[in-house]
C-alpha cells in the first residue's frame, strides 16, 4: 500500500467562517501533495459548504455518520444516498463516540456499513478497545469481535470496499497516542484476521490509525508497515497541524493514479 489516506474528522466543531478559514489555510499544502489522498469530514450541515470550498481539488469529503435506513419516517436521520448526493465519498461508521455516547451496537454498525456501500460511499469502519479492555489483555478479542460483526453482515468482498480505522478509545482526544509499536501490532492483527478470509484482499484494505495523531508523531506512525494513513480528530482543526500530518503521509513513493483504490468508485 503506497498511497496513504488521511481523513480529518472535525466532529461537532466549526461554523461557516471558521470552516472557510481552515480550508483556506489547508489548500496551499493539500494541493501540492503527491501520494496521499486527503478527505475532510465536517459536521453534516457544512458538507455542502466544504464541498464547494474543495471543488476542483483532489480533496474528498466525507460524513461522520449515516442512518442504517435508506429512507422514510426517521426524523433527524440522514441517509447514505443523501450524503452521496452531496458529493461525499467517505462516511465514518462506528466511531467510538457513536458507540459509547449514542449506544450504537455492533449490529447497527454492521447495518450502517452495508447501507454506506449500498449508497456508493466508502465506509470507514472504526474499531478499538477501551483502556480497561487493553489492560485486561483483550485488545485483539474486542477488535476481532467488532470486525466480525461487519464481516458476518457483508462478507469479505464487500468489507474490502471499505476502509478500517483502528482507534484505541484511550488514545482518542487524550493526547496519549498509541505508540507506533502498539498501533502496528493491532494493525497487523486486523490484517491477519482479514487475510484468514481473503489474503489478496487483506493486503489492499487501507488500515488507518486514529487517536491523538499530531504533527510530531505522525511520521513515525505512518512509517509502520501496516499503517496506511490516519483518522485525525483534534489536530485536523488546526491548518498548520493538519498540513504537517498530511505532509508526513506524503511519501512521494507513487503519484496518485487513476487506479489508486481510494479513488475508485466502490459501487
Total residues contacting ligand PGA by CB under 6 A comes to 13
Q: By CB under 6 A, is residue 168 in contact with ligand PGA?
A: no
CA 63 to each of CA 85, 92, 120, 187: distance values in angstroms, whole numbers, following the listed order: 12, 6, 13, 24
**Known catalytic residue at 77:** no
Q: By CB under 6 A, is residue 232 in contact with ligand PGA?
A: yes
CA-to-CA distance for 107 and 68, rounded, in angstroms?
A: 10
Binding segment for ligand PGA (CB under 6 A), chosen from 13-21, 24-32, 68-76, 232-240, is 232-240
Binding segment for ligand PGA (CB under 6 A), chosen from 128-136, 189-197, 227-235, 247-255, is 227-235
Catalytic entry in 68, 114, 167, 187: 167
Q: Which is nearer to ligand PGA, 8 or 202 (CB)?
A: 8
What are the two backbone dihedrals, phi and then psi, of residue 207, each rounded to the nearest 5 degrees?
-110, 110
Q: By CB under 6 A, is residue 9 in contact with ligand PGA?
A: yes
Minimum distance, C-beta of residue 6 to ligand PGA, in the bound complex (Å):
11
Q: By CB under 6 A, is residue 167 in contact with ligand PGA?
A: yes
**Known catalytic residue at 225:** no
The CB-nearest residue to ligand PGA is: 233
Contact pattern for ligand PGA over residues 121 through 160, marking x by CB under 6 A: ----------------------------------------
> Exactly one of 233, 239, 250, 266 binds ligand PGA (CB under 6 A); which one?
233
Q: By CB under 6 A, is residue 231 in contact with ligand PGA?
A: yes
Contact pattern for ligand PGA over residues 197 through 226, marking x by CB under 6 A: -------------xxxx-------------
Q: Which is nearer to ligand PGA, 45 or 173 (CB)?
A: 173
Binding segment for ligand PGA (CB under 6 A), chosen from 42-50, 102-110, 136-144, 165-173, is 165-173
CA-to-CA distance for 205 and 133, rounded, in angstroms?
A: 25
Contact 7, 124 (CB under 8 A): yes
Catalytic entry in 95, 114, 129, 187: 95
Residues found near ligand PGA in the complex (CB under 6 A): 9, 167, 172-173, 210-213, 231-235
Catalytic residues: 95, 167
Amino acid at each position: 500500500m503506497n498511497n496513504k489516506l488521511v481523513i480529518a474528522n472535525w466532529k461537532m466543531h466549526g461554523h461557516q467562517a471558521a470552516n472557510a478559514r481552515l480550508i483556506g489555510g489547508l489548500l496551499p499544502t493539500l494541493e501540492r501533495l503527491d501520494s496521499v489522498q486527503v478527505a475532510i469530514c465536517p459536521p453534516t450541515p457544512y458538507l455542502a459548504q466544504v464541498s464547494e470550498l474543495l471543488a476542483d481539488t483532489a480533496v474528498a469529503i466525507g460524513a461522520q455518520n449515516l442512518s442504517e435506513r435508506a429512507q422514510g419516517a426517521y426524523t433527524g436521520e440522514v441517509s447514505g444516498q443523501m450524503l452521496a448526493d452531496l458529493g461525499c465519498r467517505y462516511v465514518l461508521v462506528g466511531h467510538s463516540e457513536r458507540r459509547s455516547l449514542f449506544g450504537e451496537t455492533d449490529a447497527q454498525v454492521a447495518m450502517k456499513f452495508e447501507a454506506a456501500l449500498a449508497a456508493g460511499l466508502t465506509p470507514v469502519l472504526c474499531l478499538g478497545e477501551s483502556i480497561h479492555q487493553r489492560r485486561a489483555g483483550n485488545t485483539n478479542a474486542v477488535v476481532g469481535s467488532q470486525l466480525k460483526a461487519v464481516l458476518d453482515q457483508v462478507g469479505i468482498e464487500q468489507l474490502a470496499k471499505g476502509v478500517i480505522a483502528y482507534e484505541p478509545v484511550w488514545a482518542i482526544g487524550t493526547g496519549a497516542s498509541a505508540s507506533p509499536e502498539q498501533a502496528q501490532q493491532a494493525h497487523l492483527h486486523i490484517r491477519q484476521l482479514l487475510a484468514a478470509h481473503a489474503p489478496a484482499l487483506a493486503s489492499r484494505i487501507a488500515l488507518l490509525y486514529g487517536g491523538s495523531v499530531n504533527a510530531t508523531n505522525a511520521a513515525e506512525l505512518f512509517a509502520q508497515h501496516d499503517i496506511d494513513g490516519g483518522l485525525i480528530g483534534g489536530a485536523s482543526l488546526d491548518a498548520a497541524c493538519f498540513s504537517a500530518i498530511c505532509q508526513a503521509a506524503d511519501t512521494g513513493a507513487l503519484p496518485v493514479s487513476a487506479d489508486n483504490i481510494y479513488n475508485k468508485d466502490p459501487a
